[in-house]
Amino acid sequence: MSSFKVALNFEDGVTRFIDCKAGEKVLDAAFRARINLPVDCSDGVCGTCKCRAESGRYDLGDDYIEDALSEDEKAGGLVLTCQMVPQSDCVIAVPTSSTACKTEQSRFVATVAKVEPHNDAAVVLELDVDATAPVFLPGQYVNIDVPGSGQHRSYSFSSAPGETKISFLIKKIPGGVMSHWLEAARPGDKLDLHGPLGSFYLRDAQRPLLFLAGGTGLAPFLSMLKVLARTAPQQKVHLIYGVTRDLDLVQVEAIEAYTAKLPNFSFATVVAHEDSTHPRKGWVTQHIPADALNDGDVDVYLCGPPPMVDAVRKYFDDEGMQPNSFHYEKFTPNVVARAA
């Protein structure tokens, strides 16, 4: 049986070669070689395993959904390693460091410390973790088993690594499995978590940063801001936080506090609903100041529901704006995604 050599180029400059048997998926071949590439669903649904194929022929199959890999991304050479079957030797750029890929995904138990509702928009969930809590990168997420449901949901850490409590900002979805559980959750309740996961995380701040958050897509930015405040880099950091309704704006005071903690931090809130009296109406893309783009020498981070993420990416493409780097996370709903 023939096999193909696949070079995995990691962000930290490390290259590892793996042998991929004919018909074998890259993720499985990497796993045999004890390299834990980013992965969550293994099913072509979440997009967590997305990498860039820089050379070679391969088959991506039809077994993945558009939210995990769009036609444009496919045309641009992006691949899902959980689906990709090489048909020649290939080179793949992995958007994470080699050290992160050797880290096992861990499971751990946490205890509910606080459940704090914000209007009918969102809930802040705070958990106590023991010594086995995961080391994570600001921006990453974790899967939380919803007790008694046999299902899990993904949530981005809104707390920073190294804290004894971890926290999440969770949108209230009427009738949602996690949302329903949270209504009756009490301090002391136990939760099983597995992770950390994802290649959406804050890289070294070497140029201005533009953060674009949609709804509870604010969560990973809260984590990133906490980490940035520890080193207070001189780079400009501009956050645009867009929501649908006025009451969806949560944690604004926490964001405001960073204007004192981070030397070059600024932010703007934006509300889309036509009935809103907010001073800035519309979409986040209508409120990006030219200087926040720094003529393209900017690292853009984008997080929110899939339609918002797609709209913002399309906006950048349509405007011909090419930032130095562009990182995004889609809060794909599990239920819709798996039924698609």
Ligand X SMILES: Cc1cc2nc3c(=O)[nH]c(=O)nc-3n(C[C@H](O)[C@H](O)[C@H](O)COP(=O)(O)OP(=O)(O)OC[C@H]3O[C@@H](n4cnc5c(N)ncnc54)[C@H](O)[C@@H]3O)c2cc1C
| Residue ranges in contact with ligand FES by CB under 6 A | 39-49, 68, 80, 82
Q: From residue 205 to residue 224, what is the string marking binding to ligand X with x (rule CB under 6 A)?
A: -----------x--x-----
Q: Shortest Cβ distance from residue 174 to ligand FES (Å)?
A: 27
When CB distances to ligand X are compared, the closest residue is 176
Nearer Cβ to ligand FES (233/333): 333
From candidates 170, 222, 298, 302, binder to ligand X by CB under 6 A: 170
Q: Are 49 and 93 in contact (CB under 8 A)?
A: no
- Of 176, 184, 187, the C-alpha closest to 127 is 187
Nearer Cβ to ligand FES (199/269): 199
CA gap 261, 276 in Å, rounded: 30
Nearer Cβ to ligand X (100/169): 169
Q: From residue 236 to residue 275, what is the string marking binding to ligand X with x (rule CB under 6 A)?
A: ----------------------------------------
167 makes contact with ligand X (CB under 6 A) = no
Residues contacting 37, CB < 8 A, separation 6+: 8, 26, 27, 30, 31, 49, 51, 81, 94, 101
305 makes contact with ligand X (CB under 6 A) = yes
CA gap 199, 209 in Å, rounded: 17
Q: Which stretch binds ligand X (CB under 6 A): 22-30, 81-89, 174-182, 235-243?
A: 174-182
**Residue 331 near which of ligand FES, ligand X, none (CB within 5-8 Å, type-dependent):** ligand X
Nearer Cβ to ligand X (108/221): 221
Q: Shortest Cβ distance from residue 65 to ligand X (Å)?
A: 12
Nearer Cβ to ligand X (95/333): 333
Q: Shortest Cβ distance from residue 173 to ligand X (Å)?
A: 4
Q: At what angle do helices 219-231 and 252-261 cross, to 10 degrees?
A: 20
CA gap 287, 153 in Å, rounded: 31
199 makes contact with ligand X (CB under 6 A) = no
Phi and psi for 104 in degrees, rounded to 5? Answer: -65, 145
Q: Tell which positions 26-45 bind ligand X, by CB under 6 A.
A: none
**Residue 176 near which of ligand FES, ligand X, none (CB within 5-8 Å, type-dependent):** ligand X
Residue 201: CB atoms within 10 Å:
26
Residue 55: CB atoms within 10 Å:
11
Compute how many residues bind ligand X; rule: CB under 6 A: 27
Nearer Cβ to ligand FES (80/169): 80
CA gap 33, 17 in Å, rounded: 9
**Residue 219 near which of ligand FES, ligand X, none (CB within 5-8 Å, type-dependent):** ligand X
CA gap 50, 94 in Å, rounded: 8
- Show the CA angle centred on residue 84, arms to residues 299 and 220, nearest 5°: 30
- Of 169, 30, 194, the C-alpha closest to 105 is 194
Q: Are 134 and 142 in contact (CB under 8 A)?
A: yes
138 makes contact with ligand X (CB under 6 A) = no
Nearer Cβ to ligand X (285/332): 332
Nearer Cβ to ligand X (51/219): 219
CA gap 139, 303 in Å, rounded: 9
Residue 76: CB atoms within 10 Å:
10
Binding site for ligand X (CB under 6 A): 46, 141, 153-156, 168-171, 173, 175-179, 198, 216, 219, 305, 329, 331-336
